[in-house]
Amino acid sequence: MTITSGHLCSGYDGLGMALTLAGVAHTPLWHVENEPDAARVLELNSLAPNLGDLTDPGLFELLSRVDILTAGVPCQPVSVQGRKRGKADKRWLWPYARTAIRAAEPFRVFLENVGNLVTIEGGRLHAEILSNLREDGFAVRWGVYGACEVGAAHHRHRWFLLADRVVNRPAPEAVHVRRMACGYPLRLGRLLPTPRAGDEKRGVEPDRAARTGTGPTLNDAVGTLAPGTWGIYEGAIRRHEATMGAPAPLPLDEHGRLSGRFAEWLMMLPAGHISGRGLQRQDVVRLAGNGVVPDQARFAYQRLGG
């Protein structure tokens, strides 16, 4: 049976792709995405209309009812890479997402964000989301899972939540479905840093780890390798290649900058999903860094009971 779906803050549709990978036959009725480059990717990859800006007061009247709703609410307010202003950040869009969920009346909700959401502001923002969904009649299961658990060459630990509407009884307390052990054997060497949106602006900083205490960026890791070698990341790359069934693209372009195709490949996307859409290299890198690894989200969806 095919069900209908709607997608808030869709990005390049990583969560929609995850549903398909999980065996969920769904017909997207709408997307909500106002970032121009992501909107262009959606336009070329999806037949569903893009309704634009989640903060537009008129949006909620446009949302048709759907069976399942996904949302990758912007993570910048809670990301360890940002200012961590949480609810005080104007990009904190959960209240708008909650209103959209109420308008679309799905029977299931699937959400994604950074793992730091669980602890920022002493866990209050996370608790608020769980409480809001329970108040709105959903039974919630959540957990933090890494792309390393599906064969990726980087950890990319992310928070996922699956909520099902409860009928004729109060919604139960939220359930934390704990992650399994890290999916990467240490004997294989080191994992690469995960792609980040800010990689588009960064160059190579060999001393970054010592200077900042935050570790190297993806630029640093691949920019300091001898050409044609993967060094301590050899095992991770070969494992990722085996998972993808495709060799790694060159990590740097002809100007020595991080390659958009390499960032796309690390996100386990089909070749050309974003890099073949007429975007500039830096825009591909940024979209990849902001996006969802579809098979990681598929794993989380199934782990949470989907």
Give pLDDT tens digits for 44-74: 999 999 999 999 989 999 999 999 999 998 7
* Together in a domain, 284 and 139: no
CATH number of the domain enclosing 39: 3.40.50.150
Question: Domain range spanning residue 211?
Answer: 186-290
Quote the percentage of the chain above a pLDDT of 90: 72
At 80 the pLDDT is 42
Residue 238, CB-side half-sphere exposure with 13 Å CA sphere:
10
Tally of structural domains, the chain: 2
Regarding whether 227 and 155 lie in a shared domain, the answer is: no
Could you tell me if 207 and 81 lie in one domain? no
Task: Report whether pLDDT(270) > 80.
Answer: yes
Beta bridge partners of residue 305, listed in sequence order: none
CA atoms within a 13 Å half-sphere pointing along the CA-CB vector of 94:
22
Q: Percent of the chain scored above 70 by pLDDT?
A: 90
Looking at the predicted structure, is the pLDDT value of residue 226 above 70? yes
Are 247 and 273 part of one and the same domain? yes
Please state the length of the chain.
306
Same domain, 210 and 250: yes
Structure tokens at 23: 């065996």
Do 168 and 197 share a structural domain?
A: no
The whole-model pTM stands at 0.92
- Mapped onto helix, strand or coil, the DSSP state of residue 95 is helix
Q: What is the mean pLDDT of the chain?
A: 90
- Listed residue (71, 12, 92) closest to 289, CA to CA: 12
| Co-location of 210 and 178 in the same domain | no
286 plus 297 within the same structural domain? no
Whether residue 156 is found in the same domain as residue 207: no
| 120 and 24 both lie in a single domain | yes
34 & 178 share domain? yes
**Are residues 104 and 212 located together in one domain of the fold?**
no
Of 2, 64, 8, 59, nearest in space to 31 by CA: 8
Q: What is residue 83's predicted lDDT score, i.e. its pLDDT?
A: 45
266 pLDDT higher than 80: yes
Q: Is the per-residue pLDDT at 247 higher than 70?
A: yes
> How far is the first Cα of the chain from the last one, in angstroms, to the nearest whole number?
15
